[in-house]
Amino acid sequence: MKVFTNVKDLGDLNAALKEAFEIKKNRFGYKQLGTNKTVMLVFFNSSLRTRLSSQKAAMNLGMNTIVLDVNQGAWRLETERGVVMDGDKSEHLLEAIPVMGCYCDVIGVRSFARFENKQDDYTEKILNQFIRYSNRPVFSMEGATTHPLQAFADLITIEEYKTKARPKVVLTWAPHPRALPQAVPNSFADFMNEADVEFVITHPEGYELAPQFVRGARIEYHQDKAFEGADFIYAKNWSPFRDDIYGKVVNRDMSWTVDSRKMALTNDAFFMHCLPVRRNMIVTDDVIESPKSIVIPEAANREISCQTILKRMLESLS
Amino acid sequence: MKVFTNVKDLGDLNAALKEAFEIKKNRFGYKQLGTNKTVMLVFFNSSLRTRLSSQKAAMNLGMNTIVLDVNQGAWRLETERGVVMDGDKSEHLLEAIPVMGCYCDVIGVRSFARFENKQDDYTEKILNQFIRYSNRPVFSMEGATTHPLQAFADLITIEEYKTKARPKVVLTWAPHPRALPQAVPNSFADFMNEADVEFVITHPEGYELAPQFVRGARIEYHQDKAFEGADFIYAKNWSPFRDDIYGKVVNRDMSWTVDSRKMALTNDAFFMHCLPVRRNMIVTDDVIESPKSIVIPEAANREISCQTILKRMLESLS
Amino acid sequence: MKVFTNVKDLGDLNAALKEAFEIKKNRFGYKQLGTNKTVMLVFFNSSLRTRLSSQKAAMNLGMNTIVLDVNQGAWRLETERGVVMDGDKSEHLLEAIPVMGCYCDVIGVRSFARFENKQDDYTEKILNQFIRYSNRPVFSMEGATTHPLQAFADLITIEEYKTKARPKVVLTWAPHPRALPQAVPNSFADFMNEADVEFVITHPEGYELAPQFVRGARIEYHQDKAFEGADFIYAKNWSPFRDDIYGKVVNRDMSWTVDSRKMALTNDAFFMHCLPVRRNMIVTDDVIESPKSIVIPEAANREISCQTILKRMLESLS
């Protein structure tokens, strides 16, 4: 595996799940793979779960880890050719990225959408430059448009908790005070569309996600109706993808908050969220604290999804 | 060992000292204990000695280490239930703490007194939430009210340098330009009260420490008198515990600075301080640079006290 | 090896090169040397290549690594004796440095010139205090006046790419918007003067480097003339050493930028730069992107130069 940004990079999804569960049963069983190998984790944005789980996954595999926090203010990268670099950018990515590649075997990159230019965001400008110029396998630790380590962990979690062959999984928008990227819902849709689930997305009008991720998924604008018979409720805020309102907060409708009345409409569904979560905006205290809330085991599976990707990348090196 | 915040958590103090000295003689003799185990060091406040010595102690034991600097500005934790999280706090500790626990086997936490609310400080609000919700053994890397790794290192140092069975140990207040927490003197008293020493505390009136730590220790308001016949002088500034002046600087009396005239009153005492130390406020240059100053070996024992705690926590996992 | 700040610390330069090439062929062949040894990397200034390559080099040798970023604002060290420390400096280097030495076996220090006081810079005040007080082998990760890990990597690179026994190597000044230290050109001159090369330095008048580094090197004020017949062009900006203009930007003459016209004057020379580089100030896009640009392999050799130094320091411990 040379790149991990989307569900397709995993190939056969059932094989990937099987591999993940083998790793989960035997986390330290693959340490010879990582001996004398180094992963570099490059953060252009802050991180809690990804930072911790990626380090843990790499150490499980016996890898050395180097964490690099790129302070955007202090170390601004020039991205265009031909520029006379007499301003505040002291290094060009055309040098910085291959240099980072020199000192490691695998690179993880976190670089969020900036909401300045939809085209820049949706072409994954930063992440793709790492893929192109680092000369190393590169995995996304959340790019501008996808967060595949999260979605793979979500799928692992659904597989663990499901009680029927083909559960109904509902991705629901919920309100938030700030403009959030679409990376998590995009990747969740990307994965659910390939998984053996009945997948429904519910959100207010105007919050349609990008078609390349939604694909054939059913859209239901009536949240209550979407919840009926659901086995998993996956809550998440995102800002609009639509050109005219891209990356803006145009709706804070608190009637979309996931509460116990709505959960009662489901088939005793499990509650999921990628975290961090704004309580009583996205979800009420009682729902997230209920026995059906699986947000902590879901977070714990971030270690497993990352270790599966790292294992495959290590195998591709030898 | 599941928790380390106080002297009582060590059980038999002589057994703990014996174990510490065995570790000091053979730092790398317990590496099998830490293999495939990860310690997470969570800093809500800055740190030099604790940061370095805890990493070293964990690596001596063959553990993986993850250091997490929680920037209080960037990542503010909501602590109350029922709050609509529409402000600047993006995550609730009820999620953040169990998530951190997912990715490690042992957690160390540094979280200082904030001097905003004495009740919050003295109930160790942050540290106790880690103990309650992380599902992992938790040790204090300096809490709001205690710094047991420091006090245990102090005890180890006294044991190494003492020349009589029951030395006289004097904890003396000294002036400082800022309001400092009571964690270090609290823990020093906590440990000395259980150790085989003659323990005296000297400070200006108004600087009485919390009774639960002072216990039966002798208080002497006249510094010169306290110093007479002392074998160890332990200098430290702290701010008042008393309700009406809690956490304020009400005294900068430079006559309390430890100097050579006062040291001459002692039984050729060793000079100790937890560091960092303000020279010529707490202690004069000549005293801290004298052959009787043992501040550096005292700091070096921070590695040993931490390794002893980590070793016991690792043993409790298996 | 107890100290590494200058070429002389390496002893026989050919033996050092031979050792570096053996390491490059067998990076993981010396892991027993670093087992149970810890390197502490202390950064008073920011860093990309040095931070990453030093960690990688240490891990290649099986060492534990601790990275310490000293935030100059947060943790200011007092350096003078006799001062009453009642201001914003909370610790004296006379305590801080031996404490750091307690928790490691080898120390690397980065501390740039401050351009406040030439005497302070050129006596390497901070670095020398680490050498004097840490009680550990100390290597420079770029001091106020030298950057020997860079210059050793440069020499390794020249040795790899040269096509004649005694190549002509030209160090050329080039324009930059800010005042940069002299550490890189000082160390490059320091190494080239001892290497088997024809060494020429070219720069505008007023940019003469310190005599102790220039030594017998040929100075040529006419850049075109210097480039004639060159086998290696090493571009770098620096600010003046001369007392009256020390550390000031007095020249931004863009006619000194290295471009393809000037490279055509050479003997098909390789282009080198320590990075980060300002494109179209120091060098044009086409030159740095040409097949003769070896800036990336040069950066990659930073791992090798550092590993050679660490290996020698580890050998000196046993």
Q: Which residues pair with C3 in a beta bridge?
A: C138
pLDDT tens sequence for chain A (318 residues): 999 999 999 999 999 999 999 999 999 999 999 999 999 999 988 889 999 999 999 999 999 999 998 864 446 788 888 899 998 888 998 999 999 999 999 999 999 999 999 999 999 999 999 999 999 999 999 999 999 999 999 999 999 999 999 999 999 999 999 999 999 999 999 999 999 999 999 999 999 999 999 999 999 999 999 999 999 999 999 999 999 999 999 999 999 999 999 999 999 999 999 999 999 999 999 999 999 999 999 999 999 999 999 999 999 997
ipTM score: 0.95
Write out chain B residues lying below 8 Å of C84, CB-based.
279-281
Residue C1's closest CA among C312, C215, C261?
Answer: C312
Write out chain B residues lying below 8 Å of C95, CB-based.
275-277, 288, 295-296, 299
Q: Is the pLDDT of residue B270 over 50?
A: yes
* Confidence category of residue B71, pLDDT binned at 50, 70, 90: low
Structure tokens at C221: 């004020």
What's the gap in Å between the CA of C137 and the closest CA on chain B? Answer: 18
Crossing angle (nearest 10°) for helices C148-161 and C13-25:
80
Domains, in order of start, for chain C: 3-146+302-317 (3.40.50.1370), 150-298 (3.40.50.1370)
What is the reported pTM?
A: 0.96
- Which distant-in-sequence residues (6+ apart) come within 8 Å of B11 by Cβ? none
Mean pLDDT of chain B: 96
At residue B80, the pLDDT reads 83
**DSSP notation for chain B:** --EESSGGGG-SHHHHHHHHHHHHH-TTTTHHHHTT-EEEEEESS--SHHHHHHHHHHHHTT-EEEEEE--TTTSEEE-STT----SSEEEEHHHHHHHHHHT-SEEEEE----SS-HHHHHTTHHHHHHHHHS-S-EEESS-SS--HHHHHHHHHHHHHH--SSS-EEEEEE---SS---SHHHHHHHHHHTTSSSEEEEE--TT-PPPHHHHTTPEEES-HHHHHTT-SEEEEE-----SGGGTT------GGGSB-HHHHTTSSSPEEE--S---BTTTB-HHHHTSTTB-HHHHHHHHHHHHHHHHHHHHHHH-
Which residue from C36, C90, C94 is facing B28, i.e. has the nearest CB?
C36
Q: How many CB atoms lie within 10 A of CB C166?
A: 11
Q: Are B39 and B107 in contact (CB under 8 A)?
A: yes
3-state secondary structure of A40: strand
> pLDDT tens digit string along B109-149?
999 999 999 999 999 999 999 999 999 999 999 999 999 99
> pLDDT tens digit string along C241-294?
999 999 999 999 999 999 999 999 999 999 999 999 999 999 999 999 999 999
**What region, left, alpha or beta, does residue A4 occupy, with left being phi > 0 and alpha being psi -120 to 50 degrees?**
beta
> pLDDT tens digit string along B180-233?
999 999 999 999 999 999 999 999 999 999 999 999 999 999 999 999 999 999
Q: What is the DSSP letter of A245?
A: G
- Chain C interface test: which of B279, B298, B302 (most C C-beta within 10 Å): B279
Q: Which residues pair with C246 in a beta bridge?
A: none
Residues of chain C contacting A, Cβ within 8 Å:
27-28, 46, 48-49, 51-53, 55-56, 59-60, 177, 275-281, 285, 288-289, 295-296, 299-300, 303
Q: What is the mean pLDDT of residues B290-316?
A: 98
At residue C71, the pLDDT reads 67
Q: What is the DSSP letter of C293?
A: B
* Chain A residue with minimum CA distance to B105: A56
A279 to B87: CB separation less than 8 angstroms, yes or no: no
At residue B75, the pLDDT reads 63
For A231, the enclosing helix (H) or strand (E) is none
Collect the ranges in chain C with pLDDT lower than 50.
Answer: 72-74
